[in-house]
Amino acid sequence: MRWGKLLRLKVVSLSIFTALTVLWWGHLALSFTSLRWLAQRQDLYIGTAVQFRPLQRQPMYRQVLAREFNMVTPENAMKFEVVHPERDRYDFTQADAIVQFASDRDLQVRGHTLVWHRQLPSWLTEGEFTPEELKAILRDHIYTVVGHFRDRVSAWDVVNEAFNDDGTLRDTIWLRGIGEEYLELAFRWAREADPTARLFYNNYGGEMAGKKADATYEFIQKLEDRGVPIDGVGLQMHVGLNNVPTAAAVADNMRRFDELGLEVQITEMDVQIQNGTGTESERLQAQAEIYGEMLRVCQVEPNCNTLVMWGFTDAHSWIPSFTGNDDAPLIFDESYRPKPAYYELLEVLSR
Ligand code: XIL
């Protein structure tokens, strides 16, 4: 009886020991592998949007960020209303903190964004300006912001979302006040302010051929013909389970920009699951496959070397407030646990 008990105790402790060893090795293997580590071995950039507050306050946020990514995009900190709150005052507090974090950990920075129709300060939207005044404001803004981060931002989204879905130019304060010329001027001023930064036009909904992507393509071709300095196109890639271009269509779109000598980056990827069908685990699996496919496209196409996600933890995604519904569009859950999408990206990077 006593021997039996002792034997049982031995078996139990042996299995606990084995389980712990397996867990420990698993943990060790995971900590030696990261998206960042695998990406940099193949000259790829895996990035994420970064928010100022959690970066300041949450050690876990900083830790996962620096471990998994080699590129960041400030999610709001470089937008007009944040950096240029009054006509004669700039405020780089938040953006500087993010750029400093990035430089301390050797992460590249994408600057986002110089010319957009949203997140503008009221002095600008409510002011009345002549075309010449508005041009001077935009020139000053671009020179100051790009100049401030000169040599520290590797790529700028110079112009964001300038086209409507039907391919016409969007009616914005810039188009109304300056005319179509604002696009060309913005790129020229950005180049003057930092000749080494790569300059991008960034858009959503133009991931594959269609009215919007075609208009963008033709417009950029025109800019290039006129010698306007533009280096690439950003495909935002805000998609969902029921709303996603095929990988082949995205690859075709990338190739035609390659023919113009342009780089393409995936700049704001997230994958909503709220409109998918199936159980949660099936939806997370479908989400994982979409992330994996898009990374694969970027890995294979010669003019793509960057995939940036619009955040990394579901705890800080813009999607729930944007859509008004719960969602889980990113690759780590709210407790920073890797989701199937994370493992899928690891797997694609290991090929
Ligand atoms: C979003 C941010 O994620 C939100 O925090 C903010 O309230 C609104 O803007 N396209 C873009 C991004 O280019 O700048 C937007 O970011 C998302 C859509």
351 Cα to the center of ligand 1, angstroms? 32
CA distance 209 to 201: 16
234: exposed, middle or buried (Cβ count in 10 Å: 0-12, 13-18, 19+): buried
- Summarised one tens digit per residue, pLDDT across range 50-61 is 999 999 999 999
Residue 157, ligand 1, Cβ within 6 A = no
Q: Write down the domain spans for the chain.
A: 1-32, 34-350
List of residues 6+ apart from 165 with CB closer than 8 A: 205, 211, 212
Based on the residue annotation, tell me whether 268 is a catalytic residue of this protein: yes
Name the fold adopted by 34-350. TIM Barrel (3.20.20)
Task: Identify the active-site residue in 268, 293, 301, 344.
Answer: 268
CA distance 194 to 155: 10
326 Cα to the center of ligand 1, angstroms? 17
184 Cα to the center of ligand 1, angstroms? 24
Residue 76, ligand 1, Cβ within 6 A = yes
Answer yes or no: is pLDDT of 289 > 90. yes
233: exposed, middle or buried (Cβ count in 10 Å: 0-12, 13-18, 19+): buried
List of residues 6+ apart from 29 with CB closer than 8 A: none
Task: Identify the active-site residue in 68, 161, 293, 301.
Answer: 161
- Summarised one tens digit per residue, pLDDT across range 316-328 is 999 999 999 999 9
User: What secondary structure does DSSP assign to 166-218, as a single string?
Assistant: TSSBP--HHHHHH-THHHHHHHHHHHHH-TTSEEEEEESS-SSSSHHHHHHHH
205 Cα to the center of ligand 1, angstroms? 14
CA distance 256 to 301: 11
pLDDT band of residue 15 (cuts 50, 70, 90) is confident
- Summarised one tens digit per residue, pLDDT across range 229-286 is 999 999 999 999 999 999 999 999 999 999 999 999 999 999 999 999 999 999 999 9
Q: What share of the chain is helix, strand, coil (3-state, %, to 5)?
A: 50, 15, 30
Based on the residue annotation, tell me whether 75 is a catalytic residue of this protein: no
